[in-house]
Amino acid sequence: MKQGESAPSVWERSRQMASQEIHDTAIRLFTTQGYEETTTEQIAREAGVSQRTLFRYFGSKEDLVCGEQEALGALLTKTVQEQPAQVSAWDALRTGFGEIVTANHSMEQALTISTLVFRTPALRARYEQKRVRWQYDLMPVVRSRLCAAGRENASADHEARTVIAVSFACSDAATGSWIASQGRDDLVDLYDQALAIARTAPMST
């Protein structure tokens, strides 16, 4: 807890613990027996809550895995925005992606969740949907950074969209390779490699 912040109330701590228990139970069941094969009824029962309570914490079955994406998107935008002015848009986004990897989980937990998301069509669709929102929210932040670096207003929008799109594609490529290596490779190194390939690949003639 940061200095100046008040400690959460007993009710808030109980709510956080209940939410975490439901989430952990869902991830365990999805991983061991499959996403489609696991029902919300089973998750609620094993977590010791009613289905009504489960859906009060998580709006849908997909949100049991992807629900935290909104908070992570906000953290990504905040991290990029807080980078020093001399940091390039590329490096600011790299720092942001590095920040959110273990924001809520250990690397081992992040690997488990990422594997589940990337290999489950319904979860991948929800993940992509939320990341479109991330990119939208990042646009003014990245555009402002580019303008501060001397870019003309006329080209800043296009460059911002391009930088964001390429960075997100590199993040997904790195995550896919990380999953394929079963976590043996370093995720941030994989991101750097993907970005280097994207930025140096020759254009076709």
Residues 6+ away with beta carbon under 8 Å from 117: 65, 66, 123, 124, 127
In a domain, 2, yes or no: no
Based on the number of CB atoms within 10 Å of its own CB, is 194 exposed (0-12), middle (13-18) or buried (19 or more)? buried
In a domain, 127, yes or no: yes
| Domain extent at residue 28 | 10-61
In a domain, 34, yes or no: yes
175 and 97 belong to one structural domain:
yes
pTM of the predicted model as reported, rounded to 2 decimal places: 0.84
CATH number of 16's domain: 1.10.10.60
Over the stretch 19-54, which tens digit does the pLDDT of each residue have? 889 999 999 999 999 999 999 999 999 999 999 999
50 and 75 belong to one structural domain:
no
23 and 50 belong to one structural domain:
yes
Number of domains in the chain: 2
Over the stretch 84-113, which tens digit does the pLDDT of each residue have? 989 999 999 999 999 998 887 889 999 999
40 and 24 belong to one structural domain:
yes
Question: What type of residue sits at position 135?
Answer: Q
56 and 69 belong to one structural domain:
no
pLDDT at 17: 84
